[in-house]
Amino acid sequence: MSGESSTADDGDPLAAVVARGRAETAADTLREEGVYDDDRSVRPFGEDAVALPVTAPPERTAVREVVRQEAEPRLRNLDDHLRERGWTAEERERAPSSWAVIGTVVLVDIGDAPRPDEVGEALLDLHANADTVLARHGIDGTQREPDVAVIAGAGDTETIHTEHGTRYALDLAEVMFSPGNKAERKRMGDVVAEGDRVFDMFAGVGYFTLPMARAGARVTAAEINPASFRYLLENAKLNDVHQRVDLYRADCRDVADGVEADRIVMGYYDAHEYLDAALSALEPGGIVHMHEATPESLVYDRPVDRLTAAAADRDRAVKILDRRKVKGYSEGVAHVVVDARVE
């Protein structure tokens, strides 16, 4: 960390300068230090950096420098920014209520909000570390391809997103990334033991493969989408786990015959359709993590019944270890996960 620099009075508040791509991670560590100032806004700093508001110079977070900035009250939320732009109360009611910052990209369900370009510009003002806003319209097809459109900013949809120490390089115009699965991605890194043999049947860019491999597991990962597989390869090297992963651009059913797994991850909403392949690869006493989009009225009965029936067809017994909701999938439908040991 370099010393303070300033053209403002010494009484002006402090800000820590970091590279734009590190802003999200640095803000988290500054909060852990107890020096992040939530009452002020993040502001651009030069062409490739941002100034994060702090109450004192950080001692543990690496920053380029600490500067003084003219005091500027924080517009705390999207509603504040849209009000500044002259939006009426009725218009603001139709604005998005949630969005996600993925690296340097803001991903938002725009709904029926008026003037999406103004929403995008307001989100860029709210998140100074971001440079592009994407409106998300859904995921298409078996290869889970995103339907998105640039509504503000530079239009650079490729970024690196950091989560609990795992780095994900991806292009949000080409591959899906679900912000709501953050806790589940962390959890999978926590539940594996070093040396576990894991089969990730729907690996994507490495959502679960990377945290598990970083925890010491040996992971066989299959991904059929060529764009996702390209980033899966890159991310294995980016996280220095390439020696602990075997990666296949293939249908997971074609990979399963050669796999002997202690643990299987089925991170796909229609995972039940692949249970035969999963159980053929799962060693006796192994654990399966089966995802499903389930109507609320059938949570958790349907996924448990499907898993139990598939195991019974192979004369195998199932012990349910855990059941949990990850997030809402659509109105009346939940994204759930069932963890089970299969003898």
CATH, residue 29: 3.30.70
Same domain, 147 and 9: no
Whole-number pLDDT of residue 7 = 41
Whole-number pLDDT of residue 6 = 40
Task: For residue 223, say whether it is annotated as part of any ligand binding site.
Answer: yes
Query: Phi and psi at residue 312, in whole multiples of 5°?
Result: -60, -35
CA diameter of the chain: 76
**Residue 256 belongs to what domain range?**
167-342
Same domain, 319 and 263: yes
Same domain, 203 and 305: yes
The pLDDT tens digits of the residues spanning 117-158 come to 999 999 998 888 899 999 998 776 666 778 899 999 999 999
Residue 162 inside a domain? The answer is no
Same domain, 176 and 143: no
Same domain, 221 and 296: yes
Residue 21 inside a domain? The answer is yes
Whole-number pLDDT of residue 38 = 79
Q: Which residues pair with 293 in a beta bridge?
A: 335
The pLDDT tens digits of the residues spanning 159-183 come to 999 999 999 999 999 998 988 899 9
Same domain, 175 and 230: yes
Residue 283 inside a domain? The answer is yes
Residue 33 inside a domain? The answer is yes
CATH, residue 297: 3.40.50.150
Residue 327 inside a domain? The answer is yes
Q: Specify the DSSP class assigned to residue 215.
A: T
Same domain, 145 and 254: no
Same domain, 229 and 323: yes
HSE of 102, CA atoms in CB hemisphere, 13 A? 28
Residue 223 inside a domain? The answer is yes
Last residue of a domain, one of 27, 42, 68: 68
Alpha-carbon torsion (41, 45, 49, 52), positive or negative: negative
Same domain, 246 and 292: yes
Whole-number pLDDT of residue 9 = 47
Report the C-alpha gap between 204 and 222 in whole angstroms.
8
CB 37 within 8 A of CB 13: yes
Same domain, 46 and 131: no
Whole-number pLDDT of residue 179 = 86
Residue 74, judged by CB atoms within 10 A of its CB (0-12, 13-18, 19+), counts as: middle
Same domain, 48 and 141: no
Q: Which residues pair with 342 in a beta bridge?
A: 286, 318
Same domain, 204 and 150: no
If one counts the domains in the chain, the total is 3
Residue 89, judged by CB atoms within 10 A of its CB (0-12, 13-18, 19+), counts as: exposed
Residue 94 inside a domain? The answer is yes
Whole-number pLDDT of residue 25 = 86
Last residue of a domain, one of 156, 186, 211: 156
Whole-number pLDDT of residue 340 = 98
CB 57 within 8 A of CB 4: yes
Residue 161 inside a domain? The answer is no
Last residue of a domain, one of 14, 34, 68: 68
Find all residues with CB under 8 Å of 269, minimum gap 6, and list them. 291, 292, 293, 329, 335
Ranges of the chain whose pLDDT falls below 50: 1-9
**Across 69-207, where does the E strand assignment appear?**
99-102, 105-108, 132-140, 145-153, 158-163, 166-171, 197-200
